[in-house]
Amino acid sequence: MKAKTVQLPDGTTVPAIGQGTWYMGERNSEFRSEVNALKQGLDAGMTLIDTAEMYAEGGAERVVGEAIAGRRDDVFLVSKVYPHNAGGAKAITACEQSLKRLQTDCIDLYLLHWRGSIPLHDTVAAMEKLQQAGKIRRWGVSNLDTQDMQSLWKVPGGMKCMTNQVLYHAAARGIEFDLLPWCEEHAVPVMAYCPLAQAGQLRHDVLTAPVMQQIAKARGVSSSQIALAWVVRSGNVIAIPKAVQPQHVKENAAALTLNLTEDEIAQIDKVFPAPRHKTPLDMV
Ligand code: NDP
Does the beta carbon of 19 sit less than 6 angstroms from any atom of ligand 1?
no
How would residue 1 be classed by pLDDT, with cut points 50, 70 and 90?
A: confident
pLDDT tens for each residue of 258-268: 999 999 999 99
DSSP per-residue string spanning 235-270? SSEEE-----SHHHHHHHHHGGG----HHHHHHHHH
Using DSSP's 3-state secondary structure scheme, residue 169 falls into: strand
Q: Average pLDDT for residues 140-169, to the nearest whole number?
A: 98
Contact criterion met (CB below 8 Å) for 165 and 193: yes
CA of 104 to the centre of ligand 1 (A): 24
pLDDT at residue 199 above 70? no
Q: φ and ψ at 49, to 5 degrees?
A: -120, 130
Does the beta carbon of 163 sit less than 6 angstroms from any atom of ligand 1?
no
Q: Average pLDDT for residues 18-25, to the nearest whole number?
A: 98
pLDDT tens for each residue of 56-68: 999 999 999 999 9
Does the beta carbon of 284 sit less than 6 angstroms from any atom of ligand 1?
yes
CA of 46 to the centre of ligand 1 (A): 14
- Residue 193 CA: nearest ligand 1 atom is 30
Beta strands per DSSP E along the chain: 5-7, 13-15, 48-50, 76-81, 107-112, 136-142, 164-167, 190-193, 198-199, 202-203, 237-239
| pTM of this structure | 0.98
- Give me the domains of the chain, ranges plus CATH numbers: 12-203+231-244 (3.20.20.100)
Residue with CA at minimum distance from ligand 1 atom 21: 248
5/93 Cα distance (integer angstroms)? 33
59/79 Cα distance (integer angstroms)? 13
113/166 Cα distance (integer angstroms)? 10
- Residue 248 CA: nearest ligand 1 atom is 18
CA of 151 to the centre of ligand 1 (A): 30
pLDDT tens for each residue of 113-145: 999 999 999 999 999 999 999 999 999 999 999
Residue with CA at minimum distance from ligand 1 atom 26: 242
**Residue in 96, 117, 182, 24 with CA at minimum distance from that of residue 174:** 182
Q: φ and ψ at 37, to 5 degrees?
A: -65, -45
